[in-house]
Amino acid sequence: MPWTVIPEGEERQVKIVNSSSIDGTPIAYIVVLSAIVTALSFIPFSIVLGSGGSMPLSQGVFPLLGWLLGPIGGAIASAIGSMVGAFLAPYTAGIPIVSVLGATVSSFIAGIMIYGKGRRGSWLFLIVLFLLAFYIYGNRAIVQNGIPVNIFLAGNFIELSSFLLFILPTRRRFACWIGDSNLALVALGLFAGTWIASGLSHLCLATITYSIFNWPKEVWLALIPIIPFENLIRSLVGSAIGTGVIAGLRAISLVRSAEAIY
Amino acid sequence: MEIIAKLDKVSYIYENCQDLVLKNISLDIYKGEFLGIIGPTGAGKTTLSLVLNGIVPQFYGGRFFGYAEVAGLDTLTNPVSKLSRYVGAVFEDPETQLLATSVENEIAFTLENLCLPREEILARIARALAAVRLEGMEKKQPNELSGGQKQRLAIASALALQPALLILDEPTSQLDPVGSQEVFATVKELNRILGMTIVMVSHAAEEMAQQADRLAILEAGAISALGSPNQIYSQIEQLERASLRAPQVAKTFWAINSRGIALEKIPVTLETGLAILPSLTSYYHRPVWQDPPSINSNILLKAENLSYTHSNGTEALKNISLDICSGEYLLIIGQNGAGKTTLVKHFLKLLSPTKGSVSLKGISLENLSTSELALSIGYVAQNPDNQIFNSTVEKEVSFALTNLGYPAKEIKEKTCQSLESMGLLEARNLHPLSLSKGDRARVVIAAILSMDPEIIIFDEPTTGQDYQGAKAILEMTRQLHQMGKTVIVITHHLYLMPEYAQRVVVMGQARILLDAPIRQAYHESEILAKTYLVPPQEVLLAQELARLSGIPSPLLTSAEIAASFDL
Amino acid sequence: MYNSLWQATQKNSLISWLDFRSKLVMVIVITLIAFTWESPITSGILTILVALACLFSGIKLNYLATILKFMLPFYLFLLLTMGFFNVEQVKVLTNKSELTALLSIKGFNLTLEGILYGLSVIFKTLTMILVIPLGIFTTDLNQMIVGLTKIKVPYKIVFIFSSTLRLFPLLAQELEGIIDAQKLRGLSIEKMGLLRKARVYAAIAIPLILNAMVKSQKMEIVLQTKAFSGDNNRTYLSESKLSEIDYAFIIFFIVLLIVVLVLYVVFGVGKFWWLLK
């Protein structure tokens, strides 16, 4: 469509100034989403018995931050947001450093999911980390504390399923769905992605919390149905929130950060 | 006069935009002047002000034509960080422009970024706070400040850079009258006493007429007029064509002039208008006005001896008794903190009384749940974006009915009706956030209408809107009123309301100071002053006419005043 | 409310005079000690000391009470499960083949040793939680920012932290507004089942996040006009200086950590069954 007026002035060369960013994500975006995490951490959702706090609403949102801001930007936003939330409402955080770590890892893993052969380093490193976590955790539970193997495996259903889905091509497939124009696929991708990111983050945390709490076998038995159910809720919440947010962001055509995958 | 900023044939188009936003703008800004930029929404005013500090185009990209220079620096070849030393900027939203956790740190922020030494920073903080009269508030947190104080802090923050030029983009549109007054007074002092060059974008016609040295009208990206406030604001017809509002004084005298009474010039400020009035009293005959027929209907909503105390001990409402009848159009006014929103939240059962009661159609609200109440009372908050939860307009409008468990067929019917009455049928499948601000407000109203409530409450619907936007929303309220709804509006913009409201409740210090028909309420200057409100200029002119002529003149609008003049 | 808590504890307690870096060392050392110790006796003493330090520093009693109130159900659960079910591990830790039963229900024994183990875990986690306000709320925020940059935390990170503190009350307010708006559209959250609750909470978070993203674009422009680059090279209004007391404080805690570790490893001080044989 032609312009209504011809410019009389000379056309100039425009040099775009880079706004301050971390890993390609503008700082302002990180600040604002970090504040969201803090605000949401005041809304308790259910009691998570495994680590001693109630599950704040923000848990459904950590992976989303990884997809909106990229792994580093998302991890920072989640870390700082949950840290401030932990200071101000420690009863929603359980053990502060644990919940902050969980948030950070969750966003990071989510953001990494799209990385393919070009950035092999990051997800390979994560796979090694997860294997190490399984070893430390499994060793303490099975060898030291005498938890039967089948109970250990059942109790780690979400961790194992997430790990499997992460190392298989499913990881990239789900991440690509999130970038799809079909909202139904976006929702599915978000659901699966949240399941994976939360499950693997849970693995890292459990390795630490278990060494503090050393839950006996009976508690494992009680937790076996609860943990997957909670992860299911987290994934549902993550999918519902994420789909709405991504639909909205596409409608208002906000400037995307370089690492965003929606 | 020394030129401090110069635009030479500046044109600009944003990335992914269809047409130029600025078209061949040439403008010289003189040192020490107060230049006002006015224009309808979408004219390019914000873009123009952002050219002066380089944000356009360095932040947005796009294509730029022509030259812009501030304090001798070209705005394209010098980075924004360098230009920020010469151009201070204050934006519309008091919240998002304050980033630090204390007043002094807010002012220090830019100076720290520019690596000024600590002693210098301390000295500049003291000077800046003195200039905006916020001394003693160094350690306060931003959330402890009022809206006016926040904007003054933003100004102080910009001042600390000792800029050559200060840009203010709609600095008072989110503020109440008190805050607005504070900001204008501060800016006036900066301009008159410190000689700061000011470029201000604002819809506040009365204040701009008072303070600006020159005004530029921006329409569709081009400057259509440039002159003194006297020259610009007296051209009523031109302003109306540009969808702009003239100061009430100017509009009134123009209307008088249109009745054949010769005037040397159209005054644009209240003082000059009041000064001319004595020479016109010979033409002033019988004041003429018409009141709408009074309503005799049953009481719909009743508050009895309602008191509310916050958990921290502040009394927000003291012994409020109020009857609202079916089919009324009620206006609630009062300073920030007077208790208006608190009162309304009691009607909606979002708060429970500490003492007293609220009842709807005789039933105490204690016996109704909030969701049941939603079917009788709808509430449109100031920011429509906080009331949009769905991804299509249709889903948004049917949201409440779905939650309340209505059968699918009825949901579809009511949704359609609602969409139609708000002119949204064609937009039904669009995402609400892709619509304009005005249309988003329409979506929220449609969503509430679908529940067919008898009462609809509008909380500050005109704040942050330009004249066109505000009128559009108020016309919607008129439409609803004509449909038989009881309408309650809370607003600061008294001058917009005489065409709509019938009754006014004035609140101050947690009490009802006055409950009277609008014609009476607007003339009770002393009572309004208790809640820091000033009657609209038209009312003040009418009061002066009454004083001069000895004839009582409870007039409200420029049309009524003009109609009382005859050759 | 929370910001006022931060402010309230600034007044004149000894600990608020210390530099943030010294307090950070304290927080890290105490957390490490709490993590290491398994004995209910040593862990309990540590918890009491930290709690007392909190009170003397001006941290409000009702804040501490709120923490306890929320943690109580979990701690009860912990005590009971450890008491009834933690048999094998406790046997190993105490070198006992039979545990002292206090109560017997349907064949399950509530053991003394199990309860003691539960207590030690409670004290451990309570210390880790309480030490945070002790270090954080007693520090002026702006000093904390400078202190963090002095220990080489990148300024961008510090900025994100301080801006989060500035912004989140606004978002929390908006959140309340959104929840109210939802109630007025017929959603009564309390009456809902878990799955519907999930959808409702999602519906709250979506407008909050979207509005925040729009705000962030405005904020970017503001940052530009304030010459913000995120560069570590900048000056500061607030000062963070280590005095002699700070150095003494830091040295004390480092020495304490070393002593505790040595006593633990060599003499078993702080091991689960210490002094309880």
Q: What is the pLDDT of residue C253?
A: 94
- At residue A164, φ and ψ (nearest 5 deg) are -60, -50
Interface contact flag, A28 C219, Cβ < 8 Å: yes
Estimate the share of chain A in helix, then strand, then coil, as percent rounded to the nearest 5: 70, 5, 25
Winning range, highest mean pLDDT, from A53-67, B381-395, B447-461, C120-134: B447-461
The percent of residues in chain B predicted with pLDDT above 70, rounded, is 100
Interface contact flag, C163 A237, Cβ < 8 Å: no
Distance from CA of C36 to the nearest CA of B (A): 37
Where do the structural domains in chain C lie, given as residue ranges?
1-152+241-277, 155-231
Q: Residue B505: count other Cβ atoms within 10 Å of its Cβ.
A: 22
Amino acid found at A257: S
Q: Residue A132: count other Cβ atoms within 10 Å of its Cβ.
A: 12
Sign of the four-CA dihedral B185, B187, B191, B194: positive
CATH 1.10.1760.20 fits A21-252, yes or no: yes
Which residues on A lie below 8 Å from B8 (Cβ)?
A: 9
Chains in contact with chain B (at least 3 beta-carbon pairs closer than 8 A): A, C
**C157-176: average pLDDT:** 90
Which residues on A lie below 8 Å from C113 (Cβ)?
A: none
Q: What is the pLDDT of residue C5?
A: 57
Number of H helices, E strands in chain B: 22, 20
Domains and CATH numbers, chain B: 3-246 (3.40.50.300), 250-283+541-563 (no CATH), 299-534 (3.40.50.300)
- Strand-pairing partners, residue B360, are B301, B363
What whole-number distance in Å separates Cα of residue A207 and Cα of residue B310? 46
What whole-number distance in Å separates Cα of residue A180 and Cα of residue A201? 25
Tokens representing C267 are 């003499």
Q: Of B551, B558, B517, nearest to B536 (Cα)?
A: B558
DSSP code string of C39-103: -HHHHHHHHHHHHHHHHHTT--HHHHHHHHHHHHHHHHHHHHHHHHH--HHHHHHHT-SS--EEE
Contact B336, B493 (CB under 8 A): no
**pLDDT surpassing 90 at residue A234:** no
- Strand-pairing partners, residue B355, are B307
Which of B212 and A99 is assigned the larger pLDDT?
B212
Tokens representing C162 are 């301080």
**pLDDT surpassing 70 at residue A152:** yes
Residues 6+ apart with CB under 8 A from B550: none
Where b means 16+ CB within 10 Å and e means fewer, B41-69 reads: bebbbbbbbbbbbbbbbbbbbbbbbbbbb
Q: What is the pLDDT of residue A262?
A: 73
Residues 6+ apart with CB under 8 A from B238: B217, B224, B225
- Strand-pairing partners, residue B169, are B201
Contact B516, B533 (CB under 8 A): no
Q: What is the pLDDT of residue B2?
A: 93
- Find the helix or strand (DSSP H, E) in which A250 lies: helix A217-252
Chains in contact with chain A (at least 3 beta-carbon pairs closer than 8 A): B, C
- Find the helix or strand (DSSP H, E) in which B360 lies: strand B355-360
Interface contact flag, A7 B19, Cβ < 8 Å: no
**pLDDT surpassing 70 at residue B131:** yes
Which residues on A lie below 8 Å from B391 (Cβ)?
A: 183, 244, 247-248, 251
Where do the structural domains in chain A lie, given as residue ranges?
21-252
**C39-63: average pLDDT:** 88
What whole-number distance in Å separates Cα of residue B200 and Cα of residue C210? 29
**B463-492: average pLDDT:** 91
Contact B25, A8 (CB under 8 A): no
- The residue of B7, B21, B23 whose CB has the most chain A CBs within 10 angstroms, and thus the best one to mutate to test that interface, is B23
Distance from CA of C235 to the nearest CA of B (A): 5
Q: What is the pTM of this model?
A: 0.88
Interface contact flag, C185 B350, Cβ < 8 Å: no
Q: What is the pLDDT of residue B17?
A: 85
Place of tokens 């949204």: B424
Tokens representing A63 are 């992976």
Which residues on B lie below 8 Å from A251 (Cβ)?
A: 391, 430-434
What is the residue-averaged pLDDT of chain B? 91
Which of B87 and A216 is assigned the larger pLDDT?
B87
What is the residue-averaged pLDDT of chain A? 84
Q: Which of residues 190-249 of A touch B (CB under 8 A)?
A: 244, 247-248
Which residues on A lie below 8 Å from B390 (Cβ)?
A: 244
Distance from CA of C13 to the nearest CA of B (A): 19
User: Interface pTM (ipTM) of the complex?
Assistant: 0.87
How many Cα atoms are found within 13 Å in the side-chain-facing hemisphere of B8? Answer: 13
Per-residue pLDDT of B501-532, as tens digits, reads 999 999 998 999 999 999 999 999 999 999 98
Strands (E), chain C: 101-105, 108-111
Q: Does C100 touch chain B (CB under 8 A)?
A: no
Q: Which of C187, C218, C225 sits opposite B93 (nearest CB)?
A: C218
Q: Residue A15: count other Cβ atoms within 10 Å of its Cβ.
A: 12
